Amino acid sequence: MKPAYYVTTPIYYVNGAPHIGHAYTSIAADVMARFKRLDGFDVFFLTGTDEHGQKVEKAASEAGLDPQTFTDKVSADFRDMTERMGVSNDDFIRTTEPRHMAGCAALWRRLEAAGDIYLGHYEGWYAVRDEAFYDESELFTRDGVKLAPTGAPVEWVREPSYFFRLSAWQDRLLQFYADHPDFIAPGSRRNEVLSFVRGGLNDLSISRTTFAWGIPVPDAPGHVMYVWLDALINYITALGFPDENADRWRFWPADAHVVGKDIIRFHAVYWPAFLMSAGIAPPRKITSNGWWVVEGEKMSKSLGNVVEPRKLTTTYGLDQIRYFLLREKPFGSDGSMSHAAIVSRINVELANDLGNLAQRSLSLIAKNCDGVLPGRGDICEPDAVLLAAAAALPAALRERIDRQVFHEALEEVWKVIRAANAYIDHQAPWALRRTDPARMADVLRVLVDVQRVIATVLQPFMPGSMARMLDQLGVPPDHRNFSDLDTDLPAGITLPQPVGVFPRYIEEAA
């Protein structure tokens, strides 16, 4: 039986259209899901939309629509973005679905039965934009306006509310972090969470009474669940919770919740506390990404510089954008996106390094070997070095994908691509055609074998282009898993006519 692997994206708020930040987190999770599938795991990959709460209710009313009609529309837009980004999710959950709402009620009852819920009165600061409660001490003032640390405006809320006894979970959470040193990635985020929890935890308000767009609290008219409680539960309702005999329940606990750095506290503090209270194992890892800024400025609707992911892929190509996003900056750090940076990655690394390697070697096979793949010949020292470097890639990538250092994973592949380009320059198979055709065939075969490994391990990043590259290398579609690399390609197969995989990006004349 294949081992199970469960990876999730955040479920996105449907208060506005998807932007590149959402696409980025989803693509990173997609790389993890695709990698694990190719590496022999039974993968479940979930994404979806977060549709309740005050922020969404407000956006619906501003759009002049009732919340359900509004969320149907925006959720469909997120689903379309997900597909267009080549994201291979196995399910798409919406928090307005009956399966989710029933699961939330069941979890609430578990927390209640554990003695962790009590009725009280909330009085304090709330930021609708973050859907988060803040302590007075966390706020700062700008131009006389009180703001949350995120810059979101806060308002004073006073309402009856149910509370979750989070304060009682401090020690158990600290113990959990100590027992699971890899729970929070990257490590710098772990320290943030630890100091927050060590600082003492307040009980958490988990119901709201001043608006209605939410999941009703069982047997508590007027109360809807706090949108973050509702949202986090999606990760288990999608697996069939509360039916722990459901087929999908085998995927719990999740191997990785991929989230942005803005929402670590919810995932690394509240979520494990809710789960432990309900008698459910916490997830194995919360891994968080840093921020994309555009041409040096933070993306925001008011600045008018929000990047629409589907426009970007139309301009530059889907795989080109997927590659850029994961190559350009370390996953956990912030990074800047600019036209010049995207074009440089496309032209230097994709078109030149990888595209030319494929084009040069495959056109020589087409021209000099009648398009027939040569057999493995005698292996000389430079062949052995290059083949060994390629053979080491699956393990090198496995280790890096498991740490979400995608840029390092790609750098490992590019080291081999650059070595293969140096090899072809050095061996000069075009010159061998006259002097030593047998050696020419051996060199071309080495190049095909090396590119086969390269294209196989790059599939999670650039699925469409790498499928085309593997087609050209004569690798059958059902032989593209990492374990298939143990079996040599048969000699004598006819390779298709080579066509360029990565065109250069050419600036349009002004």
Residues 363-382 within binding reach of ligand ME8 (CB under 6 A): none
The residues facing 289 across adjacent strands are 260
Asked if 174 contacts 187 with a C-beta cutoff of 8 angstroms, the reply is no
Q: Should residue 22 be labelled a site residue for ligand ME8 when binding is judged by CB under 6 A?
A: yes
Asked if 75 contacts 47 with a C-beta cutoff of 8 angstroms, the reply is no
Of 124, 240, 260, 377, the residue at the interface with ligand ME8 (CB under 6 A) is 260
Distance CA 454, CA 27 (A): 20
Q: Should residue 335 be labelled a site residue for ligand ME8 when binding is judged by CB under 6 A?
A: no
Of 111, 224, 229, 232, the residue at the interface with ligand ME8 (CB under 6 A) is 232
Residue 93 has φ and ψ, to the nearest 5°, of -100, 140
Give the pairing type, strands 286-289 and 42-50.
Answer: unpaired
Q: Should residue 256 be labelled a site residue for ligand ME8 when binding is judged by CB under 6 A?
A: no
CB-based contacts of 142, cutoff 8 Å, min separation 6: none
**Collapsing DSSP states into helix, strand and coil, what is residue 244?**
coil
Distance CA 332, CA 480 (A): 30
Of 56, 259, 393, 453, the residue at the interface with ligand ME8 (CB under 6 A) is 259
State the number of binding residues for ligand ME8 (CB under 6 A): 20
Minimum Å gap between C-beta 103 and ligand ME8 is: 13
Q: Should residue 25 be labelled a site residue for ligand ME8 when binding is judged by CB under 6 A?
A: yes
Comparing CB distances to ligand ME8, the nearer of 294 and 350 is: 294
Asked if 14 contacts 56 with a C-beta cutoff of 8 angstroms, the reply is yes
Comparing CB distances to ligand ME8, the nearer of 121 and 301 is: 301
Categorise residue 74: left if φ over 0, alpha if ψ from -120 to 50, beta otherwise: alpha
Residue where the block lists tokens 């006819």? 494
Asked if 2 contacts 40 with a C-beta cutoff of 8 angstroms, the reply is yes
Q: Should residue 103 be labelled a site residue for ligand ME8 when binding is judged by CB under 6 A?
A: no
Distance CA 476, CA 55 (A): 49
Minimum Å gap between C-beta 227 and ligand ME8 is: 8
Q: Should residue 416 be labelled a site residue for ligand ME8 when binding is judged by CB under 6 A?
A: no
Asked if 178 contacts 172 with a C-beta cutoff of 8 angstroms, the reply is no
Of 5, 7, 11, 242, the residue at the interface with ligand ME8 (CB under 6 A) is 11
Q: Token pair for residue 102?
A: 């029933």
Count of other CB atoms within 10 angstroms of residue 134: 19
Contacts with ligand ME8, 263-302, as mask; x by CB under 6 A: x-------------------------x-xx------x---
Distance CA 333, CA 22 (A): 16
Q: Token pair for residue 15?
A: 């208060």
Comparing CB distances to ligand ME8, the nearer of 259 and 357 is: 259
Q: Should residue 213 be labelled a site residue for ligand ME8 when binding is judged by CB under 6 A?
A: no
Residue nearest to ligand ME8 (CB): 21
Comparing CB distances to ligand ME8, the nearer of 96 and 427 is: 96
Stretch that binds ligand ME8, among 22-30, 166-174, 375-383, 426-434 (CB under 6 A): 22-30
Comparing CB distances to ligand ME8, the nearer of 11 and 417 is: 11
Minimum Å gap between C-beta 426 and ligand ME8 is: 42
Q: Should residue 223 be labelled a site residue for ligand ME8 when binding is judged by CB under 6 A?
A: no
What residues line the site for ligand ME8 (CB under 6 A)?
10-13, 21-22, 24-25, 50, 231-232, 234, 259-260, 262-263, 289, 291-292, 299
